[in-house]
Structures are given as C-alpha cells and as structure tokens.
Amino acid sequence: AQKITQTQPGMFVQEKEAVTLDCTYDTSDPSYGLFWYKQPSSGEMIFLIYQGSYDQQNATEGRYSLNFQKARKSANLVISASQLGDSAMYFCAMREDGYNKLIFGAGTRLAVHP
C-alpha cells in the first residue's frame, strides 16, 4: 500500500524568502510519480511540479523545485522568493505506475507574510 506523509500542518514564511515543504512517501513499486499541487481557498487543485522515480535530475518549474531524495523516499517542495499569492494549501501526491490512482498527503497550509 502506498502512503504519503506531510508532517507540517502549517508553515509561515516572510515574503521574498524561500520555504521548504516536506513530503515523505512509502511504496514498494519501483516505478512511480510524485506530484505537488496548490489549492487556494477557491478549491481548485493547481498542478505545480512532477518528479518521476527514474528521473535523474530534480524537477524545477519556475520558482518551484523538488528536492528528490530517492533513498530517503522524500520529495520536498522548495518555493523560492515567496509571494503573498503563494498562501494556500499544498498537497504532495503519488501515483504508482501499476495503478491509475493519485493519492494525496494530508497537506501543509502555507501563509506568506508581508
């Protein structure tokens, strides 16, 4: 069974600073994908970044980067130069390639202060 763990219920960061949101996962499938989504109060799930289990390099998308440490089974999201609009709920999710299911962690609520 797969499992996603986000241990930070809430995080605070000052505007323009960097912040790391933690995510660990557990799977026995050697082929899997890891995702991060942002969910503002409006409810829409916004895709941020994807890392495949066989990808050699850490994924980056603009201000978002994924610190992928396969041996530790961690996939932390790094947001550089935080903006007020980054305040939202952030979910880490995983899909095992043998199953067409995307499973979410509990989420981390990020608050960016001016």
Partner 1 sequence: DTEVTQTPKHLVMGMTNKKSLKCEQHMGHRAMYWYKQKAKKPPELMFVYSYEKLSINESVPSRFSPECPNSSLLNLHLHALQPEDSALYLCASSQRQGETNYGYTFGSGTRLTVV
Query: Under the rule (CB under 8 A), what is the footprint of partner 1?
Result: 33, 35, 37, 42-47, 50, 91, 95, 97, 100-107
> By C-beta, is 43 or 85 nearer to partner 1?
43
> By C-beta, is 107 or 112 nearer to partner 1?
107
Contacts of 78 (CB under 8 A, 6+ apart): 18, 19, 20, 21, 64, 65, 66, 67
Q: Shortest Cβ distance from residue 37 to partner 1 (Å)?
A: 8
> By C-beta, is 85 or 114 nearer to partner 1?
85
